[in-house]
Amino acid sequence: MDWAGLMRAGLHQLRLPPREFWALTPAELQIMLGATGAVAAMGRVQFDALLRDFPDQVKDEEDG
């Protein structure tokens, strides 16, 4: 992660106060900097595949 570059962009280019800069999510910062090519949200097929590949671990009463 290019923190120095991100800080220059946020604090100098966008002229954000530090508090506002550090409160941003990476996606918000990208949008403010005019980044394009956002990735589409995960669809149902991909979500189902993720659930299949990485199922939740069900704890019993002894596990807490």
Judge whether 29 and 6 are in contact, CB under 8 Å. Answer: yes
38 pLDDT tier (thresholds 50, 70, 90): low
Indicate the pTM of the whole model.
Answer: 0.52
Task: Tally Cβ neighbours within 10 Å of residue 11.
Answer: 15
Rounded Cα distance, 11 and 9, in Å: 6
What distance in Å separates the CA atoms of residue 39 and residue 59, rounded to the nearest whole number?
34
Residue 47 predicted with pLDDT over 70? yes
- State yes or no: pLDDT of 20 exceeds 90: yes
